[in-house]
A and B are shown apart, each in its own frame.
Chain A
Amino acid sequence: MRKYVVAALAAAGVAALATAAFGSTQSPSRANASASAATASVACGKTRTIGLAAPITGPAAAIGNQQVRWAKYYVKQWNAQKANKNKQIKVISGDTQLGVDTAFAVKVAKSFASNSKVLGVVGPAGSQEVVASTSSYKGGGLAFVSGSATRTTLTDGHTDGNRRGFFFRVVPNDSVQAPTVANYITGKLKAKRVYIIDDQETYSQGLANGVESRLKAKGVSTTRDSISQTASDFSSQIAKIPGNTQIIYIPWQLAPQAQAFGQQLKAAGKGSIKLFGSDGLFAPGTWKIAGSYDSFFPVDTNAGAVKAYVKAHHGDGEYFGAPSYVAAQVVVGAVTKACADGKASRAEVRKDIAKSKLKSSILGLPVSFTAGGDLKGGGFGVYQIQSNGSFKRIG
């Protein structure tokens, strides 16, 4: 019996190692393809190609598909313009399955890097995906512009690796989000007892740390706990939460998990405690615990493009994906500029993205980047979930 169990575990171990090895290595031919694509100039022709990395399936598919639709919406608008008849953009999508395994994001990055036609990339969505796939994008010389990765240290050049000149984001980072949340909890909600639960991922832990330190500095009593992104049973963690807790802060990425947590909280008789989520949970229709709060990037709902999108989607703004529209705008703009002489290299596209300047955007502010790749300016808003499941901006 013991021998059999050992054999079973050994077989499982070999399988796991083989899987890991498969995910972490690339064939020489693919590596060579990436390296040559990084330096080569390609003839732009009438159709230029960009990559779009997003969680199209998986637990974060609800928000990932919003990013896909918004990014493709921009490209559709671009391609429809007469002036761009000979400058058409083609989008190749890659499914990163955020919340399942970062290996999918790496696989997507490798496929884009080895495809010499891809000149720039929109995405990926999650900070942990950015960390995991950076070496593949850098190896291929590709710039990648995220519409949602907010972990502060992604752009400091050392903590999570150096990706300067390659990685850019069109959303403010968590050094902006964390104070917004902490100030709202102390200033508007006047909460004195806050329970903070991270989901053990890069993004979540960074944001939880930021909010916790700021709340503590303001004299708020905080308690910290942690759940895994694969967890479904929260009953024991909920039993730990004192009944007089006012806010539970959950900077998570998976809205279905937040929904299940809210239901189990209510079932445990603690439904009066308010939940406060982060941008990763901005998923109307999936997270629908009425009365909960959420921090998110403000979107200019009066912008023509936003109005048209809302109309085309039967009143649903799908605002989580809106920054990906701007990311696509930045990438397409840089590709077009690099292609001005009929051929372009990825290095040119990277330089042009770094120098991007949009005078206005649907985010309600001009878009340009710091040396680290961060968006200059910008802030977060606070929303509350209504009884019909919609998110209403309240701060």
Chain B
Amino acid sequence: MNPALSQQLRNLAGLGVGLVAFMLYAVYFSPTQGWVFFFQLTVNGIILGSIYALIALGYSMVYGILKLLNFAHGDVYMIGAFIGFGVLTLLGGPLNPEIPVALLVLCMFVVAMLGSGFLGLAIERFAYRPLRDAPRIAPLISALGVAFFLENSALLLFGSQFRNYDGYDLISYNGIHVGGANGVFIQYLGVIVIVGAVLLMLALLALVRWTRLGKAMRAVSFDREGAAMMGIDPDRVIAATFFIGSALAGAAGVMFGLLFSQIYHLMGFLAGLKGFTAAVVGGIGSIPGAMLGGLLVGLIESWAKGYLNGNVSDLVVFGILIGVMLVRPSGLLGTPALQKV
């Protein structure tokens, strides 16, 4: 068997054993709350993790193709949330929508994804492309600069007041009970987020696997110069990667706004860090790894908030990042970089 695949399978098996052990531990040490509580936290974690996974995909795609940590990605997600809010407000707001709610939500997603996608294109064109052949630290500093630029631009454009999507008023406070009235409760909004995220991830996987663009992306990721010699335009492929990754972040921003209501100009910082953590845990550069990492970070955060005091959840999440980096520097589904000599 391929050694890399073998390593990934061992990682997944280890992760599975760890999760089962944690589940038994959590239920055993929390007998008054029991299984329902555990599964409620798990559902909450999957919903949150779906959002992190969408953010992580952008980090991972860009790293995979450019070996660049795009620290501005969290702020693209923030801009996506604001674009969605703008569409919501323009079309009547959550309490008096001027068009059917389903159409309104669709419009929010489409406009936010397009807006974020084009923003990603602009960032790539003006902040990263000119530094393509510069030392690696230069685009990294440029990325930090773009992040601050976006945050402060949002501050100037939208003010620093929190904006409230009132997503539950727009869609519904209701949901699905699994296991009876005292069982696990999943809000319809949560279902929308999970289904939406899964559809977007499947679409991305299909694009990467079965389209010419996807093949070109894989080729550029593997060897940019070689791909160029085979007639692929790396600049176009890199631009498309930025567009897609940023569009996914825009969708994540709208999902976040609908689900958790409040958005503000600094919301991208922590979410970006969590998305980055997810990408690294999953194996940066790996698309399935980003999805797995996102779900894991969401689950860990949810369990930490549920079983421990709320002020330690971030400590646990970032502690796990350090742990994974020490034990598996390439992440759960990443492959060690080959040293070309």
C-alpha spacing A268/B266, complex, angstroms: 27
Name 19 extra pairs, CB < 8 A, besides A11-B141, A15-B144: A1-B329, A2-B329, A5-B325, A57-B160, A59-B162, A228-B314, A236-B303, A236-B305, A236-B306, A239-B40, A254-B162, A256-B162, A257-B162, A259-B164, A259-B262, A260-B261, A264-B168, A266-B173, A267-B189
Complex Cα gap A15–B47 (Å) = 33
B251 → chain A, closest Cβ, in Å? Answer: 17
Are B166 and A263 in contact (CB-based, < 8 A)? yes
Q: Whole-angstrom distance between the alpha carbons of A117 and B72 in the complex?
A: 42
Q: Does B220 contact A (CB under 8 A)?
A: no
**Interface: B24 (CB within 8 A):** no
Report Cα–Cα, A233/B168, bound state, in Å.
14
Contact A239 B41, CB 8 Å, known A7-B136, A61-B160, A233-B48: yes
By beta carbon, the residue of chain A nearest B148 is: A15
Chain A residues, CB < 8 A from B40: 239
Report A-chain residues with C-beta under 8 Å of the C-beta of B302: 235-236
Q: How far is the CB of B187 from chain A (nearest CB, A)?
A: 5
CB of B241 closer than 8 Å to a CB of A: no
User: Within the assembled complex, what's the spacing in Å between the Cα atoms of A155 and B295?
Assistant: 47
A97 to B44, CA, bound (A): 31
Give every chain A residue within 8 A of B311 (Cβ-Cβ). 200, 226-228
Which residues of A lie under 8 Å from residue B325 when comparing CB positions? 2, 5
> A232 within 8 Å of B by Cβ?
yes
Taken residue by residue from 287 to 308, chain B's Cβ proximity to chain A (1 for < 8 Å, 0 otherwise) reads as 0000000000000011101100
A225 to B260, CA, bound (A): 19
**A61-B161 in contact (CB<8A):** yes
* B78 interface hit (Cβ, 8 Å): no
Sample of 22 A–B contacts (CB below 8 Å): A1-B330, A2-B325, A2-B329, A7-B136, A7-B137, A8-B69, A11-B140, A61-B161, A62-B161, A225-B310, A227-B310, A227-B311, A230-B266, A230-B270, A234-B260, A237-B310, A256-B262, A257-B162, A260-B260, A264-B168, A264-B261, A267-B187
Among B41, B45, B266, B311, chain A packs the most CB atoms within 10 A around the CB of: B311
> B128 interface residue, CB < 8 Å from A?
no
Flag whether B267 is at the interface (Cβ < 8 A).
Answer: yes
A312 within 8 A of B: no
Give the number of chain A interface residues (Cβ < 8 Å): 44
Q: Residue-by-residue, is B313-341 near A (CB-CB < 8 Å gives 1, otherwise 0)?
A: 01000000000010001100010010000
Total number of residue pairs linking A and B with CB closer than 8 Å = 127
Asked if B61 lies at the interface with its beta carbon under 8 angstroms from chain A, I say no
Point out the residues of chain A lying under 8 angstroms from B337, CB to CB. 1
Contact among B67, B161, B168, B261 for A4, CB-based, below 8 A: B67
Interface string of A50-69 (1 = CB under 8 A from B): 00000001110110000000
Once the chains bind, are A59 and B48 in contact (CB under 8 Å)?
A: no
Q: Say whether A83 faces chain B, with CB atoms less than 8 Å apart.
A: no
Asked whether any CB of chain A lies closer than 8 Å to the CB of B6, the reply is: no
Chain B positions 138 through 182: 1 when the CB is less than 8 Å from some CB of chain A, otherwise 0: 001100100000000001000111101010110001010000000
Q: A12–B262 contact, CB under 8 A?
A: no
Contact in complex: B168, A5 (CB < 8 Å): no
CA distance A260 to B303 in the complex (A): 21
B123 at the interface (CB under 8 A from A): no
- Chain A residues with CB under 8 Å of B33's CB are 240
List residues of chain A with CB within 8 A of the CB of B141: 11
**Within 8 Å of chain A (Cβ to Cβ): is B256?**
yes
Taken together as a complex, chains A and B put the C-alpha atoms of A271 and B187 apart, in Å, by: 14
> Assuming the A-B contacts A5-B280, A57-B159, are A267 and B173 also in contact, with contact meaning beta carbons closer than 8 angstroms in the complex?
yes
- A21: interface (CB < 8 Å): no
> Which residues of the other chain, A, contact B187 by a CB distance below 8 angstroms?
267-268
Kindly list chain B residues whose C-beta atoms are within 8 Å of the C-beta of A233. Answer: 44, 48, 259-260
Q: How far is the CA of A152 from the CA of B155 in the complex (A)?
A: 33
Pair B310/A59 contact, Cβ less than 8 Å: no
Question: 1/0 per residue A260-276: CB within 8 Å of B?
Answer: 10011011110100000
Which has the most chain A C-beta neighbours within 10 Å: B44, B302, B310? B310
Does B185 belong to the interface (CB within 8 Å)?
yes
Q: Which residues of chain A are near B54, meaning CB under 8 Å? A: none
